[in-house]
Amino acid sequence: MEVKHKKLGISIIGERITPELSFIESFCEYLERLPRDIRSSISGVVPFKNLMLAVELYKNKIITLGKFAELIGLPVHDSARILESLGIKPELGAGTKKELDEEIKAANNIA
């Protein structure tokens, strides 16, 4: 299978459709819909392997949205939009005191 996204200049080749290829295709389609400045900042900041790892950690409830945003180096709002584009509902707000502390720590690092 070959997946091409002309606007992004991405060509991915695989023998069969895998969850990873589906993820890449969905993510590229999402990126194409973003304004050019946001698209540029994402591609310049987020190595793809880091993004895939962060998505898996978030999906399996190992990290919070704040930690996800910190790992990929984007604001929480943009990070939530990325997750939504992948069909993952972002949980806004801390569910526990530990999560709240992590979010406060992440916010302090941004400021």
Q: Which of 43, 39, 60 is nearest to 51 (CA)?
A: 43
Residue pair 88/67 in contact by the 8 Å Cβ criterion:
no
User: pLDDT 10s per residue in the chain (111 long)?
Assistant: 555 555 555 555 566 667 766 777 777 777 777 777 766 666 665 666 677 788 888 988 888 888 898 888 888 888 888 888 888 899 876 667 887 788 788 788 875
Q: Which of 45, 39, 1 is nearest to 21 (CA)?
A: 1
Give the residue numbers spanning the domain of 27: 2-110
Dihedral of the CA atoms 8, 9, 14, 19 (nearest 10)?
-10
Q: Is the pTM of this model over 0.75?
A: no
Specify the number of domains making up the chain: 1
